[in-house]
Chains A and B, each alone.
Chain A
Amino acid sequence: MPRTSVIECPGCPPVRALTFDVLGLIKVVEARGKEKGVAKVVERWGEPDPSKCVLAASIDDCEFDPLLAVARKCGSIELISPVNGDLRLSLSNGSQVDGEPEDDPVSGLHLFKKKKLQSSSRSCTLLSCSKKGRVVLRSVELSSGDVNGNGTPLTWTVCGSGDVLCSKVDENENYALFGGKRVEVNVWDLEKRTKIWTAKSPPKNNLDIFTPTWFTSATFLNKDDHRKLVTGTNQHQVRLYDIAAQRRPVISFDFLEASITAVTEDLDGRKVYVGNGSGDLASFDIRTGKLLGRFSGKCSGSIKSIARHPELPVLASCGLDRYLRFWDTESRQLLSAVFLKQHLTSVVLDSQFNDEEVAGSDAPIPPNVSLELELDESLDEGEEDPQPVKKKKKSKELSGSKKKKNITLDEDEEDPQPVKRKKKSKELGGSKKKKTKQQSIVLYTFDGVCLK
Chain B
Amino acid sequence: MGYKQPKAKNYDGDEDNYNKDDKPKMTTGQQLLPSMIKNKDKRSAVHAKLKEQKKLEKRKKAKARDALEKRAIELGEELPPRPVPRTIENTREADETICKPDDEELFAANDADEFSSVLKQEHVPKILITTCRFNSTRGPEFISDLLSVIPNAHYYKRGTYDLKKIVEYANKKDFTSLIVVHTNRREPDALLVIGLPDGPTAHFKLTKLVLRKDIKNHGNPTSHKPELVLNNFTTQLGHRIGRLIQSLFPQDPNFRGRRVVTFHNQRDFIFFRHHRYIFENKENKQSDSKTTKNKDGKVESVSKDRVIARLQECGPRFTLKLRTLQHGTFDTKGGEYEWVHKPEMDTSRRRFFL
Contacts and interface: CB of A to CB of B under 8 A. Distances in A.
Given A341-B103, A342-B105, A342-B109, A277 B336 contact: yes
A302 B333 contact: no
A341 B338 contact: no
Interface stretch (A1-9, A94-102, A195-203): A1-9
Given A6-B93, A298-B344, A339-B97, A277 B105 contact: no
Contacts of B338: 301-302, 320-321, 343
Counting chain B residues whose Cβ lies within 8 A of the other chain, the interface size class is: 20 to 34
B105 A279 contact: no
Contacts of B104: 48
Interface residues of A, number: 32
B333 A50 contact: no
B334 A234 contact: yes
Contacts of A341: 103, 105-106, 109, 236
A163 to B, nearest CB: 13
Contacts of A339: 96-97
Contacts of B349: 2, 4
A345 to B, nearest CB: 12
B56 interface: no
Nearest to B345: A298
A258 B335 CA distance: 7
B344 A277 contact: no
Nearest to A303: B336
Contacts, number: 86
A300 B109 contact: no
Query: For the complex, would chain A's binding face be called helix, strand, loop or mixed by DSSP majority?
Result: loop
Interface string B331-354: 001111111111011011111000
B309 interface: no
B75 interface: no
Interface in A1-29: 2, 4-6, 22-23, 25
B345 A322 contact: no
Given A23-B105, A322-B97, A341-B106, A5 B348 contact: yes
Given A5-B348, A48-B109, A322-B97, A259 B339 contact: no
A281 to B, nearest CB: 13
Given A341-B109, A342-B109, 6 more contacts: A4-B350, A4-B351, A23-B109, A320-B338, A341-B105, A341-B236
21 contacts: A4-B350, A48-B105, A49-B108, A50-B112, A216-B334, A234-B334, A259-B334, A259-B336, A278-B340, A298-B344, A300-B337, A300-B339, A301-B337, A301-B338, A302-B327, A302-B338, A320-B338, A320-B339, A321-B339, A322-B97, A341-B109
